Structure 1
């Protein structure tokens, strides 16, 4: 049985113009209603015979923004893939754009605790947390994933309103692989 993953790839550059070829190819793909990620990469000028992993990615969306802290430009691409992440073509794409371009990615499996974050600095992609709750002798088996401590506190405050001493909450951080 196949497992599907949500993936986010970040191409990071000090110059917006470096990201422009990929941005234009993604715009073209959206206009042409192209779903596979490898097609805009070929349209950008990468060699089709090099692209094996990106064929497994369905393009969901993209956006370009400037990071508030680092002032670098970030082209964020969202994909869905089958049976894990496939970042090899993205590394080729990074080098094709510029050796100075950085690449970080996140991958999460549906209904699983599968989580990979290659940004160990957590400057571009935040550390993530899951919460398990035991309240009034009921275990909350729904695992929610949060990007920050404020969301965690909100979830805890929502569920823990009584003073029952048997209630508990466990917060765990995912390990970057």
Structure 2
């Protein structure tokens, strides 16, 4: 969590971050002063907001001001992100999430994947690099275009007469 905080802070970008306790205390309200680097909340208060436990994810992802999302590539989440037209950065944690990442990054090219260390963790420097990459690079611009196109395609599929609507 501290590495994520470092990456978000050093990226210079605005953010909304939902923080939960790590297991086994994941259902208890997190103590942000223990989980995050000292002074993080104060240093980022003008451009970041940390929520405890939960946020209305579909509403957040559908908001026009949200442009990027750090994810673990769980399939339900991926569908919500695609429908919101939001670009993804992330690293998979379990099983099929790795396959989902390959589909999003390599096949559909609507996401970027961070490089994990051998222990599966991601450094703050790595996260910062990829946030900047998605925001400022030509590849990031292309990812944004494809994400917007996929959002529009998803809306058509779910709309009246669309393939998902008809199949349902």
Class of the TM-score when normalised by the shorter of the 2 chains: under 0.3
Q: Comparing both structures, which one devotes a greater share of its residues to strand?
A: 1
State the structure with more CA Rg: 1
Q: Comparing both structures, which one devotes a greater share of its residues to helix?
A: 2
TM-score by length of 1: 0.22
